[in-house]
């Protein structure tokens, strides 16, 4: 999603929706308004519009667009079958260049810079966008008006190393995410030992302090920690089908911090197995929250398994009321 003035206030869930392209009118009042750029020979304007689903075409065009923009501070890449767009920063302001109808030109945009991380498009495998579209079509069940985007969707933690590619459709179906190498982002089944352990690890990232750690069969894993401004609480989460996202909410965290790495996925799994007596399955509904409520010196694990509540220490030993 492009960060427009309206979109900047939208919740993280809205960031997973389809993205709206910028207006194609030349940028008014700009010294380079309406200027065009002659692409490399492999992407020269012709009577035939380029097909970016063909191997190598999108990668070449994105490089041409970046060169035309005279900036290496890229904050957004968008590719459709016959259109490509790049947004960059110049003097702290976003500008957008696009290939449309056989020409590269600067276009108007309502993109707003709100701290998105800059990145190099060459860090992403754009050598075969058609292959990415086919994979996304299989996973989403639709190939209608597919659009690939690379843009920082994070609201708090901005890191180029955690950027993903996404492919959406219009009408909107399911957004499919890809790692920079073109591999689909892993889906985690949080009713398996692997899903719990790996999903929790991604939610933790490099954090060594948190006030809450939670894992559940339905929502995946998340941690919470105080925001830098002291008046917000940040939630960093890894959902079953989506890469790590974060969002902040107003509030003063009163829970004491602890090292979230002390919460073990294998311990959570062992408690689930023990408490269900071998009946744990794909449809079992469960959740666990780790925190140090009630002025505890060490966090505890607060389970709800099939509607039954249970409290354990960090090693899985049950604590009776």
**Co-location of 18 and 57 in the same domain:** yes
Q: Could you give phi then psi for residue 198, rounded to 5 degrees?
A: -75, -40
Read out DSSP for 82-93? S-EEEEEEETTE
Q: Report the distance separating Cα 133 and Cα 57, nearest Å.
A: 14
Structure tokens at 186: 């892993």
**Co-location of 20 and 102 in the same domain:** yes
Residue 204, in any domain of the structure: yes
Q: What is the pLDDT of residue 1?
A: 38
Residue 188, in any domain of the structure: no
Residue 26, in any domain of the structure: yes
H-type alpha helices, the chain: 57-69, 129-140, 193-204, 265-276
**269 Rama sector, left if φ>0, alpha if ψ -120 to 50, beta otherwise:** alpha
**Co-location of 215 and 166 in the same domain:** no
Last residue of a domain, one of 126, 143, 178: 178
**Co-location of 151 and 273 in the same domain:** no
**Co-location of 33 and 72 in the same domain:** yes
Closest C-alpha to 213, from 227, 196, 193: 196
Cβ pair 49, 101 in contact under 8 A: yes
Alpha carbon of residue 117 to chain centroid = 13
Residue 302, in any domain of the structure: yes
**Co-location of 92 and 240 in the same domain:** no
Mapped onto helix, strand or coil, the DSSP state of residue 243 is: coil
Residue 186, in any domain of the structure: no
Last residue of a domain, one of 178, 205, 225: 178
Q: What is the pLDDT of residue 23?
A: 37
**Co-location of 92 and 122 in the same domain:** yes
- pLDDT tens, position by position, for the chain (321 residues)? 344 433 433 333 434 443 333 333 333 333 343 444 544 444 445 457 999 999 999 999 999 999 999 999 999 999 999 999 999 999 999 999 999 989 999 999 888 898 899 999 999 999 999 999 999 999 999 999 999 999 998 878 888 999 999 999 999 999 999 999 999 999 999 999 999 999 999 999 999 999 999 999 999 999 999 998 888 999 999 999 999 999 999 987 789 999 999 999 999 999 999 999 989 999 999 999 999 998 788 999 999 999 999 999 999 999 988
Q: Torsion over CA of 27, 67, 180 and 249, rounded to 10 degrees?
A: -40
Range of the domain at 81: 7-178
Structure tokens at 315: 């090693």
Residue 321, in any domain of the structure: no
**Co-location of 112 and 169 in the same domain:** yes
**Co-location of 37 and 147 in the same domain:** yes
| pTM confidence score | 0.81
**Co-location of 140 and 245 in the same domain:** no
Q: How many domains does the chain have?
A: 2
Q: What is the number of helices (H) and of strands (E) in the chain?
A: 4, 15
Alpha carbon of residue 48 to chain centroid = 35
Residues in a beta bridge with 99: 84, 104
Last residue of a domain, one of 122, 153, 178: 178
Residue 298, in any domain of the structure: yes
**Co-location of 30 and 148 in the same domain:** yes
**Co-location of 207 and 127 in the same domain:** no
Residue 317, in any domain of the structure: no
């Amino acid at each position: 999603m492009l960060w427009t003035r309206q979109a900047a206030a939208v919740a993280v869930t809205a960031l997973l929706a389809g993205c709206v392209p910028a207006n194609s009118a030349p940028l008014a009042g700009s010294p380079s308004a309406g200027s065009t750029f002659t692409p490399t020979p492999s992407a020269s304007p012709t009577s035939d519009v380029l097909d970016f689903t063909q191997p190598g075409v999108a990668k070449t065009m994105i490089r041409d667009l970046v060169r035309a923009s005279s900036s290496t501070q890229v904050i957004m890449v968008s590719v459709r079958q016959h259109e490509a767009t790049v947004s960059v920063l110049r003097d702290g302001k976003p500008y957008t260049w696009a290939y449309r109808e056989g020409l590269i030109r600067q276009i108007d945009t309502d993109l707003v810079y709100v701290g998105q991380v800059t990145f190099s498009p060459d860090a992403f495998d754009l050598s075969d966008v058609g292959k990415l579209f086919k994979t996304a079509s299989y996973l989403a069940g639709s190939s209608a008006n597919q659009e690939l985007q690379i843009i920082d969707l994070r609201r708090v933690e901005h890191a180029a190393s955690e950027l993903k590619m996404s492919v959406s459709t219009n009408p909107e179906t399911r957004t499919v995410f890809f790692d920079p190498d073109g591999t689909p982002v892993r889906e985690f089944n949080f009713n398996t030992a692997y899903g719990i352990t790996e999903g929790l690890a991604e939610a933790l990232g490099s954090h060594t302090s948190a006030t809450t750690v939670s894992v559940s069969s339905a929502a995946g894993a998340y941690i919470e920690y105080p925001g830098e401004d002291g008046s917000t609480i940040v939630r960093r989460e890894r959902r079953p089908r989506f890469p790590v996202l974060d969002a902040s909410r107003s509030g003063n965290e009163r829970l004491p911090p602890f090292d979230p790495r002390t919460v073990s996925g294998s311990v959570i799994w062992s408690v689930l197995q023990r408490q269900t007596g071998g009946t744990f399955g794909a449809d079992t509904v469960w959740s666990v929250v780790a925190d140090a409520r009630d002025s505890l010196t060490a966090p505890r694990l607060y389970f709800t398994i099939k509607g039954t509540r249970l409290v354990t220490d960090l090693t899985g030993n049950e604590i009776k009321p």
